[in-house]
Amino acid sequence: MARADRLARIDADRIEHETDYRAALVAALQTTAKGRWGLFGHQGKKGETPASVATVTALIELGETIDDLRDTLGMEPFALHADFVAARGPVRSDAVGEPKQAQAWLARLEQESGTA
């Protein structure tokens, strides 16, 4: 019974952290969509600001915490975090800018959650 209670607490923590992650990512995407670069790291160190570095660091740390909880529960890694990490980094010169990329992410997340 103690193991079941422990797993239930871990799962509740996972759900709370995933909700926090999504909210933090949406807030960061909204800021980026307004023209602030750095979230996706398209320009490397040149495009970093202290705020973008802090935001990315917080998202990565929270994503890793979620993945650890999911691993404990025998679940797949957190897909939203994996997608975000995969979307970061330098891109070709003809790729869309970070603000447009952020707008596309916001539209996708709204569609997935069913909100308008």
Domains of the chain, residue spans: 2-113
pLDDT reported for residue 116: 47
pLDDT reported for residue 114: 75
pLDDT reported for residue 66: 98
Tokens of 70: 């999911």
Instruction: Output the DSSP codes for 36-90.
Output: ---SS-TTGGGG--HHHHHHHHHHHHHHHHHHHHHHHTTPPP-HHHHHHHHH-S-
What pTM did the predictor assign?
Answer: 0.91
pLDDT reported for residue 7: 95
Tokens of 89: 């980094």
pLDDT in tens, the chain (116 residues): 688 899 999 999 999 999 999 999 999 999 999 999 999 999 888 888 899 999 999 999 999 999 999 999 999 999 999 999 999 999 988 899 999 999 999 999 999 987 54
